[in-house]
Amino acid sequence: MKKNLKKVLALLMCTTVVLTTAMGCGGSSDDGAASDAGDTATEEAGEADDAGDAAADAAETAGVDIKDAKVGISIYQFSDNFMTLYRTELVRYMVDELGFTEGNITVQDGKNDQAEQTNQINNFITSGVDVMILNLVQSSSAPQVTDMCNDAGIPVVYINRQPDETESDRWVSEGIKATYIGADARQSGTYQGEEILETENKGDINGDGKVSYIMVQGDPENIDAQYRTEYSIKALEDAGMETEELLLQRGDWDQVKGQQITQDALTQFGEQIEVVFCNNDAMALGALQAIQAAGRTIGEDIYLVGVDALTDAVQNIVDGKFTGTVFNDYFGQAQGAADLAVKFLNGEEVEPINMVDYIKVTTENANEILEKIK
């Protein structure tokens, strides 16, 4: 991946680290602008590759020695495929491009246990870290965690799991040094729906006038799971398609659960299932195993979409075994998170909500995306 910096930067030319306020980005799916996101991003692109340098330079100018800064990072669960790509890029970027010292960065596994993670955060406070980057196990614990950090005078960059709006509003009104960077999951849901609409029969394989689907959901506490579930179907309905939900079940972002849920659903509903929506690629890869085991054929008698653009998923699109996915830009998010941490260290103001664009991935651009993430 290190050797691929050029490729990554080229990719960011398409996605850009669009650091905007929630208001600036939130309407994108509602007003149909989601499809235009790529264009907008391309226009703003040139700035992205300079962002890291600028943040590091600014910190130096202000006399903050990045080399000595101590950083506490906690990831909700190390075994999560997507968050593994994310944290690898986060540490790589901080050390290789921003000049942090690897030994000063502590990365902990929250083990999907909020009590465990809260302990880790307490230990970060005791050990005197200068800034934290947190992927909360439960985003609902943000108010408590923010107060702990704020009382200790430590700024926090929340990643991936977005705290409630009331919480981020409070950071502004109370002048708390906390921020969030992620991607607007409404956009990814909309893209999933659009991928189904772009098939020859718009998802209505059996021509009975409705799209019959199962929804394999991530952890429903997570806004990404809620929005992807809602907006994928909304895109179909907004385009005038009737939909029929045969099953909605939580698979907690997990491949094995995705496989089991889809296998059971195929046994129960058989040919009735025309589309399998999965809130992420890990679960979609599990669903694919079940679909193949049941003798069904993607693109012929069933469609399958995920989110993230894991390498295996994108390869499956190239091979015709996945209908589509959506690139969840962990390069942009990880680099943006690190840049925000530097801004805090530098005493700069940051926006409370910072969003990075998703990119739709279908047979048309799968090879191109694959080259960039490999």
Q: Which residues of the shown chain bind ligand BGC in the complex (CB under 6 A)? A: 80, 82-83, 160-161, 222, 224, 253, 280, 282, 307-308, 328
In angstroms, what is the minimal distance from the CB of 181 to ligand BGC?
A: 12
In terms of CB distance, is 100 or 227 closer to ligand BGC?
A: 227
In angstroms, what is the minimal distance from the CB of 185 to ligand BGC?
A: 7
- Which neighbouring-strand residues pair with 134? 74, 158
In angstroms, what is the minimal distance from the CB of 307 to ligand BGC?
A: 5
In angstroms, what is the minimal distance from the CB of 364 to ligand BGC?
A: 22
What is d(CA 136, CA 124) in angstroms, rounded to the nearest whole number?
14
- Which neighbouring-strand residues pair with 326? 360
In angstroms, what is the minimal distance from the CB of 107 to ligand BGC?
A: 16
In angstroms, what is the minimal distance from the CB of 199 to ligand BGC?
A: 22
In terms of CB distance, is 64 or 251 closer to ligand BGC?
A: 251
Cα 201 to chain centroid, rounded: 29
Give, in degrees to the nearest 5, the angle at Cα 82 between 162 and 199.
95
In terms of CB distance, is 228 or 321 closer to ligand BGC?
A: 228
Question: Contact, 1 vs 92, CB < 8 A?
Answer: yes
In terms of CB distance, is 216 or 307 closer to ligand BGC?
A: 307
* Structure token digits, residue 222: 């997570």
In terms of CB distance, is 323 or 333 closer to ligand BGC?
A: 333
